[in-house]
Chain A
Amino acid sequence: MKIRTTATIVFLLLLLFAGIALRLLIARQVDGSITLAIPEQEFVLYRVVPLISALIVGAGLGVSGMGLQVLLRNSLASPWILGLSSGAGLGVMATMYFEHTYGATFVGSESGGAILGAVGTLSLVYILSRRRTGIDPMTMVLVGVVVSVLCGAGIMVLQHAVPMGLRGSFTTWLMGSLPEVESWWKLGTLGGATVFGIALISWWGPTLDAACLSDDEATSVGVNLPRIRTRLFLVSSILAAIGVMLAGPIAFVGLIAPHGARLFLGGSHRSLTIATAIMGACLLVFADDIRQIVDIGSGRLPIGIVTSVIGGVVFLGLLLRNRGRV
């Protein structure tokens, strides 16, 4: 591993440890003041669980975004461009609707609805984007946008059909939040799947590098494009779906983390995947740190709002920087 790559990964890890330490130590007092102190034992879990969730969701969304940017050959692609967020939202809204109307959710919980919606949407996008020679990136973006719009319409129909109170619950879910109470089994399973997915994409790094060439060039140097695109789609989608399952729709991490990592490491995807995972985890951990500190009079902000504010500004910066090329 080159010195620059090692130095970058060490730097990002130190940054991540700083964010983790801050999250563990930071506390808001009843009078609103902020202190840094080792938490009492009974409160430790309430900080460790969201912290672990932030690591899983941030790393997974970051690498998912990177995979999709390679798959779609679009540096502004993110997990949400394929309709994942709106699909999950429709699943949650449908769960709420069925519970209200029939007294049963059919899928267990809102998380079940989110996963079902996300997987259903992604499957639809995948099927509609397939061509004789495999996934067509441009078709996939267009299908993703159209499916997003259709899911959005479905959400509005269901919102119209449920009482006002339920609309509030749905809006809260849409803002995204890290769980403070979650089973260790679920965290372990989703964490393990995320690490496995990240390791797979890192392993495929050289193929991802070659897949950044045009279709003809990539094929001519020996890349099996249909196979790597299908694999990337599946693993990237699963990583993003895990994020939705744990924290709801968290915007912009999947877009910004790969770009942040590229600033340090360039385009080689084996090391870039690792750096992107750490960068994504950093983003979410620091966003969680910020929400512990910022209070606009209504308690702690949902983490999705913090990532949206940070991400929106960075996104605009990216657009302005790349306006000649995008």
Chain B
Amino acid sequence: MRLKISDVTMRYGKLTALQGVHSSADGGKVIAVLGPNASGKTTLLRTIAGLTTPSKGRVELDGVRVDKMTPHDRASKISWVPRIAEVSGAFTIRTVVELGRYAIGPSESRVTDALRQVELLDRSESLWHGASAGMRQRAAMARALAQRTPGGMLVLDEPSSALDMHHLKSMGEMLKQCASEGDIVIAALHDISFAMEIADAVIVLKEGRIVLDGQTNAVLTPSSLGGIYGVDLNWAVDEAGKRHLVIA
């Protein structure tokens, strides 16, 4: 599967959220989308997932425009994990995860597997409204896992913002696992260390434009990121000899 983003511009009235964005990605990779607040990360991800139509340009998956796909086709190829999952009915966590199979047909085993992967199987009959932010984020991940077709695309908007260290680590492993099964995995992240840990490539946005795009190790350096975020960064080396970007 190949994702191609061609000259995407998104305007909301006078506000330009994205300006002339070009990029591409192949299956089997985890791509982190980074950037300061209001740099256009969520808008880019929503455009990639076909949830909104760009003012100009196009996003194609294997040559098909994602915003022109039928709801069924889109649901079978693209799974979405929001930053904050919202449900307005009196549903259990299991029911919310089952909704991931709405268009592509029920599958008890896929739902159970997904709940097990995010460690919510024993809480699956709890009501959604009683769930913590972290549980909701894991449930949204489980819904995407239950929905995804291996070899498709998984789009995640800050999927780890409410997770503890244990679940952050297992989230990273799940994303890498999906990529190893041929998925294109694209996630907006604020945690640079986490991005360096899981991402094969990064796209860095600033004020709606791509300012860095390439292999993670080549792109993420103190000098390149420091200017974008407006902070002084340094390398720090941990006990295992791994390098981390830290604020100087």
Question: What residues make up the interface of A, taking CB atoms closer than 8 Å to B?
Answer: 70, 73, 75, 206-207, 209-210, 212-214, 216-217, 219-224, 262, 266-269, 325
Question: What residues make up the interface of B, taking CB atoms closer than 8 Å to A?
Answer: 46, 49, 51, 71-72, 74-76, 78-80, 82, 85-92, 95-96, 99-104, 129, 140, 143, 147
Nearest B residue to A265 via CB reads B90
A-B contacts, 21 of them at CB < 8 A, read: A70-B89, A206-B102, A209-B89, A210-B102, A212-B91, A213-B87, A213-B99, A216-B82, A217-B82, A219-B71, A220-B49, A220-B79, A220-B80, A221-B99, A221-B147, A222-B74, A222-B75, A222-B76, A223-B71, A266-B90, A266-B95
Is there an interface contact between A213 and B80, defined as CB atoms closer than 8 Å? Answer: no
The CA-CA distance from A268 to B88 in the complex, in Å, is 12
Is there an interface contact between A212 and B88, defined as CB atoms closer than 8 Å? Answer: yes
Nearest A residue to B46 via CB reads A216
The CA-CA distance from A73 to B95 in the complex, in Å, is 18
- Please name all residues of chain B whose beta carbon is closer than 8 Å to the beta carbon of A216 when the two chains form the complex: 46, 49, 51, 80, 82
- Please name all residues of chain B whose beta carbon is closer than 8 Å to the beta carbon of A221 when the two chains form the complex: 75, 99-103, 143, 147
- Please name all residues of chain A whose beta carbon is closer than 8 Å to the beta carbon of B103 when the two chains form the complex: 221-223
Nearest B residue to A262 via CB reads B90
B95 CB contact (under 8 Å) in A70, A217, A262, A267: A267
The CA-CA distance from A221 to B144 in the complex, in Å, is 9
Is there an interface contact between B80 and A217, defined as CB atoms closer than 8 Å? Answer: yes
Is there an interface contact between A217 and B85, defined as CB atoms closer than 8 Å? Answer: yes
Is there an interface contact between B87 and A224, defined as CB atoms closer than 8 Å? Answer: no
- Please name all residues of chain B whose beta carbon is closer than 8 Å to the beta carbon of A210 when the two chains form the complex: 99, 102
Nearest A residue to B78 via CB reads A220
- Please name all residues of chain B whose beta carbon is closer than 8 Å to the beta carbon of A222 when the two chains form the complex: 71-72, 74-76, 102-104
- Please name all residues of chain A whose beta carbon is closer than 8 Å to the beta carbon of B80 when the two chains form the complex: 216-217, 220
Nearest B residue to A269 via CB reads B89
- Please name all residues of chain B whose beta carbon is closer than 8 Å to the beta carbon of A266 when the two chains form the complex: 89-92, 95
- Please name all residues of chain B whose beta carbon is closer than 8 Å to the beta carbon of A75 when the two chains form the complex: 88
The CA-CA distance from A325 to B127 in the complex, in Å, is 15
Is there an interface contact between B92 and A220, defined as CB atoms closer than 8 Å? Answer: no
Is there an interface contact between B89 and A220, defined as CB atoms closer than 8 Å? Answer: no
3 closest A-B pairs (Cβ-Cβ)?
Answer: A222-B103, A222-B75, A267-B89
Nearest B residue to A206 via CB reads B102
Nearest B residue to A227 via CB reads B71
The CA-CA distance from A75 to B99 in the complex, in Å, is 20
B50 to chain A, nearest CB (A): 8
B3 to chain A, nearest CB (A): 16
A261 to chain B, nearest CB (A): 10
- Please name all residues of chain B whose beta carbon is closer than 8 Å to the beta carbon of A70 when the two chains form the complex: 88-89
B204 to chain A, nearest CB (A): 23
The CA-CA distance from A216 to B85 in the complex, in Å, is 10
- Please name all residues of chain A whose beta carbon is closer than 8 Å to the beta carbon of B88 when the two chains form the complex: 70, 73, 75, 212
The CA-CA distance from A212 to B92 in the complex, in Å, is 13
- Please name all residues of chain A whose beta carbon is closer than 8 Å to the beta carbon of B96 when the two chains form the complex: 213
The CA-CA distance from A214 to B80 in the complex, in Å, is 12
The CA-CA distance from A207 to B99 in the complex, in Å, is 9
From known contacts A206-B102, A209-B95, infer whether A220 and B90 are also in contact, taking CB-CB under 8 Å.
no
Nearest A residue to B155 via CB reads A220
- Please name all residues of chain B whose beta carbon is closer than 8 Å to the beta carbon of A267 when the two chains form the complex: 89-91, 95
A137 to chain B, nearest CB (A): 10
- Please name all residues of chain B whose beta carbon is closer than 8 Å to the beta carbon of A207 when the two chains form the complex: 102
The CA-CA distance from A279 to B140 in the complex, in Å, is 33
A212 CB contact (under 8 Å) in B49, B89, B100, B140: B89
- Please name all residues of chain A whose beta carbon is closer than 8 Å to the beta carbon of B89 when the two chains form the complex: 70, 209, 212, 266-267, 269
The CA-CA distance from A70 to B74 in the complex, in Å, is 23
The CA-CA distance from A217 to B103 in the complex, in Å, is 13
The CA-CA distance from A269 to B101 in the complex, in Å, is 16
Nearest B residue to A224 via CB reads B71
- Please name all residues of chain B whose beta carbon is closer than 8 Å to the beta carbon of A212 when the two chains form the complex: 87-89, 91
From known contacts A214-B85, A216-B46, A216-B51, infer whether A223 and B102 are also in contact, taking CB-CB under 8 Å.
yes
- Please name all residues of chain A whose beta carbon is closer than 8 Å to the beta carbon of B75 when the two chains form the complex: 220-222
The CA-CA distance from A11 to B48 in the complex, in Å, is 49
- Please name all residues of chain A whose beta carbon is closer than 8 Å to the beta carbon of B86 when the two chains form the complex: 213-214, 217
Nearest B residue to A208 via CB reads B89
A181 to chain B, nearest CB (A): 41
- Please name all residues of chain A whose beta carbon is closer than 8 Å to the beta carbon of B46 when the two chains form the complex: 216
Nearest B residue to A217 via CB reads B82
- Please name all residues of chain B whose beta carbon is closer than 8 Å to the beta carbon of A73 when the two chains form the complex: 88
B31 to chain A, nearest CB (A): 18
A209 CB contact (under 8 Å) in B76, B82, B99, B147: B99
A215 to chain B, nearest CB (A): 8
- Please name all residues of chain A whose beta carbon is closer than 8 Å to the beta carbon of B143 when the two chains form the complex: 217, 221
The CA-CA distance from A70 to B89 in the complex, in Å, is 8
Is there an interface contact between A220 and B51, defined as CB atoms closer than 8 Å? Answer: yes
Nearest A residue to B98 via CB reads A209
The CA-CA distance from A75 to B89 in the complex, in Å, is 8
Nearest B residue to A72 via CB reads B88
